[in-house]
Amino acid sequence: MGGFSLIRNVGKLLRKTKEKKSLMQNDYLDSKPSDSLDVNFNQNVETLRSVYDNCSDVMFRSFLLFGKTRAMLIYIAGLSDIEAIEQYVLSPLMQESSKEPQPLNEFIEHKMPVPKVVKVNMLADCIESISSGNPILLYEGGSDGFSLGLSKWEKRAIEEPVAEGGVRGSREGFIESLEVNTSQLRRIIKSPALKIQSMKIGTLTRTNVSIAYIDGLADKTLIEEITTRLERIKIDGILESEYIEEMIEDNPFSPFPQIMSTERPDVACASLLEGRAVILVEGTPFTLIAPISFFSLIQSQEDYAQRFMAGTFIRWLRYFFMGLSLLLPSLYVAILTFHHEAVPTALLLSVAASRESVPFPAIVEALAMEITFEALREAGVRLPKQVGSAVSIVGALVIGQASVQAGLVSAPMVIVVAITGIASFMMPRYIAGIAFRMLRFPMMLLAGTLGLLGIMMGIIAIVIHLCSLRSFGVPYLAPLAPLKGKELKDVLWRAPWWMMDTRPRLSGDSNVYRQAPEQSPNPKRGSETE
Amino acid sequence: MKHVLLLLVICGTTPFLSGCWDRIEITDLAIVTAAAIDKKGNNQIELSVQVFIPSSISSGGGQGGSSQGGSGVTTMVRNEKGSNISDALSKLQSKLPRKVFWGHCKVFVFGEKLAKEGIQEQLDFLLRHPQPREKANVYVSKGEAKPILESLPPLENYSGEVLRELSDLHIGMLVTMQDLDEMLTGTPRAAALPIVKILPPAKGQTKLQGIPYIVGTAVFKKDKMTGTMTEKETRGLLWLRDEVESYTVTFQPKGVKGKISLSPVSAKVKIIPQIINDKWKLLVKISTDGAVIQNGTNLNLSNPKSLKAAERAYQKDIENRIRMAFLHIQHKKSDILGLGKDFYRKYPKQFNKVDNHWDEIFAEMEVEVDVVAHIRRQGYINKPAGLSENEVKDK
């Protein structure tokens, strides 16, 4: 009995027996091909009933097909469209007066007004279908079941992305439903070259995961590599795309993300158009983009949605503040404890004056303030909205004002922490900001022990690490290292669109040109042709 | 995995092995803003340091409105005698609870007495010690140097700042420690330093509220001060050193009443050493443009003729200044302009022959001053203000 063995296996898994490995080998996925539906209707119903033992949300609706044949409709309450079931399945099939059409399976497959009917003969497929909201229709005398595409469940409306806001550009964000998300991609990229491959990951959650890419732009080997890495995942559940990200990363021990996540369809599509692949995961609005380079994390969709000069200016500002968010507190500490001569006299004197009553060494003060700031930030995210504003006011008052007035913290330190805090939020991708925020602490320790020398050592270590990173084989610092002069147009500055002739070369050389060359608007050119 | 972790732990703890050995909190520093060195008794010097008091401008802790708390005293002066600076300093340190920090000391003042007896020995400390800056300004005080530090200027935070700002205006000479070292080690072995003096406090101000200001130039032969130059002579010296910046030239054109004041807008100075028939000669070529600041005469300067006359007088005035300054330093037999270097570059063979009696040659050298001066700007008005049409000499 396939169904029983499945339940047993799942039960074992839940009981956390020590034979984890052997369990994973006999899991649900492997049992999939083995059991087919029985010819006996009662037998099939019995099997399914035992599979869904103690599942009160699974409905078994038995009825008579055209008043004669016994049939059973199995669906999960809340996952299937009850009205449609009633209107298009039950009422036509239960008409006693009409003659029973023959053969029955022909009728169900072709004459039922249901968007999608799939013949299933595997038990596992039946379960799959039921779990994803498609009711299963079984009838006496038929060796096959039918999966009716009538899934419908409550989902959130498309909203503005919360973590990646913007002034100009699309305001749509991904939501938790995979179908809606893929439809959003398809709505932007209408070409059939946009391919979306699906698979299920998670022995218990059976989460739908889709890989989207553009045929001809994305490297074939890249898609194969992503697929193999995804197929390698054996896990009970996927609740967030981060699970997958960590399972398929190139270097799992790096503070820097080698796969980017976004909740914006426009960002995902921009990546698709650059030949990258997008991994969509059901149940989370955050989709994954791979391969990426370090600079993808610093580029915001809004850089491209405003005039290129503004985009370039903002981008430079972002680079500058990225450096600040990593280095400012450590530079402050290093200068205050080792290199007093490195600042202008007037500045040193006023800093000295403000530090006069502070009882802590600069490094302790800096660490304490930075940790407090991180705590405030985290609390601000976690707190209920109603309390949030109160806490931020208290935090700002206590830390900003009272501690300075009490002489526990110097005012310049508050300024440094505030600038650093703001700087880390200038990163368009939240995760990239976090990487820098974390690295700030070891840098501060280095600065407090070895001064500028320590900071240099820290920077060198970070740069070496960044150089050694790969994202699906693409160097992390590309196009800066290895240097690709042509691609710097999107790194050193944001070139105007008519200059963005080429796509970034991720791995293959195919389809380099994204647009016709020399499209710069030129009134003269127009008049010549006239 | 274990090995990687172990490696990380080892690497992570190495920075702490140093024990932060040269870490000094800013609150443990006595920031010296100016220092003075005087001669005291036989073979003793007195080192005075002006130390910044951080709590004097501290706003932290004080909810009070004024940041300039209390009496407004931002510095204090501590002094100690010793056989040389380092000796005095080590004694001084025992009187200061914080570590003396020279990194922001931008003013060094030598007392007149010490300057006359030689500054080389003390200069060695300042140049050898890693903390004092080579960019610090060096001065000689009229009389003792210590009172310069003790004065409490009403406008700036401390007297060292006053001196530095005054020097930056280029009214007197601006000599940094590096310049001084170069002058003393270079071929002419002569130096010039600005002289400072306390300006007595104005009425209603407390006794200490005088400020130091630059009154002229001290002339050094080798490391000993041999004489002084007045402010007016210093101006001529600045012309020769091509350091002229904003100041006013006032002169009287021939045959008219009243004076014209000009401010040099730009000045190009070229010093050309010459040896003609074994005669050492210096050619100073100056081309300068001036702007009229005040015209007290009845000349209409928009008239080319009057302008020419004024320009001629301007040229004469500059030439006189330069001649006066040059005669003065020739008289002192100290080549503070470093002319020896210029001659050596152009005539190395001839110079090597006279190297040991260069001072005499310098003293007898002829100087030719060639000034091309123009008046380019006249300000908002052409004709002298407050004069009726017929009073203006408009030829």
Residue-wise pLDDT tens digits, A155-206? 889 999 888 888 888 899 999 999 999 999 999 999 999 999 999 998 888 8
Based on the fold, state whether residues B196 and B342 are members of the same structural domain.
no
Q: What is the mean pLDDT of chain A?
A: 85
The CATH number given to whatever domain includes residue B268 is 3.30.300.210
Query: What pLDDT is recorded for position A13?
Result: 53
What does the block give as tokens for A311? 């985009």
Percent of chain A with pLDDT over 70: 91
Residue A351 contacts B, CB cutoff 8 Å: yes
Query: What pLDDT is recorded for position B60?
Result: 44
Are A277 and A213 spatial neighbours (Cβ–Cβ below 8 Å)? Answer: yes
Are A296 and A431 spatial neighbours (Cβ–Cβ below 8 Å)? Answer: no
Among B16, B52, B60, select the one facing A357 at the smallest CB separation. B60
Percent of chain A with pLDDT over 90: 34
Task: Quote the minimal CA–CA distance from B12 to chain A in Å.
Answer: 9
Count of CA atoms in the C-beta half-sphere (13 A) of B196:
33
Q: Note the Cα B303 to chain centre separation in Å.
A: 40
Query: What pLDDT is recorded for position A105?
Result: 76
pLDDT class for B364, splitting at 50, 70, 90? confident
Query: What pLDDT is recorded for position A25?
Result: 47
Residue A277 contacts B, CB cutoff 8 Å: no
Cα separation, A2 vs A7, in Å, equals 9
Residue B60 contacts A, CB cutoff 8 Å: yes
Based on the fold, state whether residues B214 and B306 are members of the same structural domain.
no
Whether residue B183 lies inside any domain: the answer is: yes
Query: What pLDDT is recorded for position B107?
Result: 92
Residue A350 contacts B, CB cutoff 8 Å: yes
Residue A163 contacts B, CB cutoff 8 Å: no
Cα separation, A137 vs A144, in Å, equals 9
Query: What pLDDT is recorded for position A265?
Result: 94
Q: A78: alpha, beta or left, given left = phi > 0 and alpha = psi -120 to 50?
A: left
pLDDT of A321 over the 70 cut: yes
Strand partners, B292: B262
Q: Which helix (H) or strand (E) holds A301?
A: none
Query: Taking the CA atoms of chain B, what radius of gyration do you get in angstroms?
Result: 27
Based on the fold, state whether residues B239 and B114 are members of the same structural domain.
no
Are B135 and B163 spatial neighbours (Cβ–Cβ below 8 Å)? Answer: no
List C-alpha distances in Å: A373 to A399, A485, B122. 9, 40, 50
Based on the fold, state whether residues B290 and B386 are members of the same structural domain.
yes
Cα separation, B26 vs A339, in Å, equals 10
Whose CA is closest to A260, among A476, A488, A519? A476
Residues in A touching B31 (Cβ below 8 Å)? 340, 348-349, 352
Greater pLDDT, B296 or A444: A444
What does the block give as tokens for B294? 């005040």
Query: What pLDDT is recorded for position A30?
Result: 44
Query: What pLDDT is recorded for position A466?
Result: 94
Residues in A touching B54 (Cβ below 8 Å)? 349, 352-353, 355-356
Based on the fold, state whether residues B110 and B256 are members of the same structural domain.
no
Whether residue B64 lies inside any domain: the answer is: no
Q: What part of B 257-296 touches A (C-beta under 8 Å)?
A: none
Query: What pLDDT is recorded for position A204?
Result: 87
Residue A345 contacts B, CB cutoff 8 Å: yes
Greater pLDDT, A297 or A104: A297
Using the 3D structure, point to which of B186, B208, B229 is the last residue of a domain.
Answer: B229
Cα separation, A40 vs A48, in Å, equals 13
Query: What pLDDT is recorded for position A41?
Result: 85
Mean pLDDT of A454-459: 93
Are B335 and B298 spatial neighbours (Cβ–Cβ below 8 Å)? Answer: no
Give the best-scoring range by mean pLDDT among A11-25, A123-137, A253-267, B305-319.
A253-267
Longest Cα–Cα distance in chain A: 101
Based on the fold, state whether residues B163 and B234 are members of the same structural domain.
no
Residue A454 contacts B, CB cutoff 8 Å: yes
Q: What is the tens place of the pLDDT at every residue in A33-88?
A: 457 777 788 888 888 888 888 888 998 988 888 877 888 999 998 888 888 888 88
The chain A residue lying nearest B58, using CA atoms, is A353
Q: What is the mean pLDDT of chain B?
A: 84
Residues in A touching B104 (Cβ below 8 Å)? 340-341, 345, 348-349
Residue B58 contacts A, CB cutoff 8 Å: yes
Residue B13 contacts A, CB cutoff 8 Å: no
Task: Quote the minimal CA–CA distance from A332 to chain B in Å.
Answer: 12
Residue A415 contacts B, CB cutoff 8 Å: no
pLDDT of B65 over the 50 cut: no
Whether residue B260 lies inside any domain: the answer is: yes
Q: What is the tens place of the pLDDT at every residue in B166-223?
A: 888 888 888 999 989 988 887 778 888 999 988 887 777 777 777 888 888 898 888 8
Query: What pLDDT is recorded for position A10?
Result: 52
The chain A residue lying nearest B51, using CA atoms, is A349
Cα separation, B32 vs B47, in Å, equals 12
Query: What pLDDT is recorded for position B290?
Result: 86
Which of A224-238, A376-390, B168-182, B269-283 is predicted least confidently? A376-390
* DSSP structural state of residue B145: S
Query: What pLDDT is recorded for position A528?
Result: 53
Mean pLDDT of B346-364: 85
Based on the fold, state whether residues B140 and B207 are members of the same structural domain.
yes
Query: What pLDDT is recorded for position A28?
Result: 46
pLDDT class for A327, splitting at 50, 70, 90? very high
**Domain residues for B309?**
230-395
Whether residue B16 lies inside any domain: the answer is: no
Helix-, strand-, coil-residue percentages of chain B, each rounded to 5:
35, 30, 35
Q: Do B27 and A354 touch (CB under 8 A)?
A: no
Query: What pLDDT is recorded for position B68?
Result: 44
Mean pLDDT of B237-261: 82
What strands lie across the sheet with B249-251, from one edge to the other?
A: B249-251, B260-276, B279-295, B366-377
Residue A361 contacts B, CB cutoff 8 Å: yes
Cα separation, B79 vs B346, in Å, equals 48
Whose CA is closest to A233, among A202, A278, A277? A202
Q: What is the tens place of the pLDDT at every residue in A273-314?
A: 988 999 999 999 999 998 999 998 888 888 899 999 999 999
Instruction: Give burial (CB, 10 Å; 0-12/13-18/19+) of B367.
Output: middle
Using the 3D structure, point to which of B200, B229, B258 is the last residue of a domain.
Answer: B229
Torsion angle, alpha carbons of A403, A406, A407, A409, to 10: -10
pLDDT class for B58, splitting at 50, 70, 90? low
Neighbours of B187 (CB within 10 A): 16
Which of A349, A409, A441 should we substitute to test contact with B (largest number of B Cβ atoms within 10 Å)? Answer: A349
| Total tally of structural domains belonging to chain B | 2
Based on the fold, state whether residues B190 and B261 are members of the same structural domain.
no
Whether residue B208 lies inside any domain: the answer is: yes
Q: What is the tens place of the pLDDT at every residue in B77-95?
A: 999 999 988 999 999 999 8
Instruction: Give burial (CB, 10 Å; 0-12/13-18/19+) of B271.
Output: middle
* DSSP structural state of residue B395: -
Cα separation, A13 vs A19, in Å, equals 9
What does the block give as tokens for A175? 């939501």
Mean pLDDT of A243-265: 92
Mean pLDDT of B39-43: 85
Based on the fold, state whether residues B395 and B272 are members of the same structural domain.
yes
Based on the fold, state whether residues B217 and B308 are members of the same structural domain.
no
Whether residue B3 lies inside any domain: the answer is: no
Q: Could you please report the per-residue DSSP string of A74-134? A: EEETTTB-HHHIIIIIIHHHT-SSSPPPSSHHHHHHHHS--S-EEEE-BHHHHHHHHHTT-
Percent of chain B with pLDDT over 90: 16
The Cα angle at residue A307 between residues A301 and A313, in degrees rounded to 5: 80
Number of H helices, E strands in chain A: 21, 12
Based on the fold, state whether residues B253 and B362 are members of the same structural domain.
yes
Based on the fold, state whether residues B241 and B387 are members of the same structural domain.
yes
Using the 3D structure, point to which of B197, B229, B261 is the last residue of a domain.
Answer: B229
Cα separation, A320 vs A313, in Å, equals 11
Neighbours of B44 (CB within 10 A): 14
Query: What pLDDT is recorded for position B59?
Result: 53
Among B15, B57, B61, select the one facing A445 at the smallest CB separation. B15
Query: What pLDDT is recorded for position B63?
Result: 42
Q: Is the dihedral of CA A39, A40, A46, A49 positive or negative?
A: positive
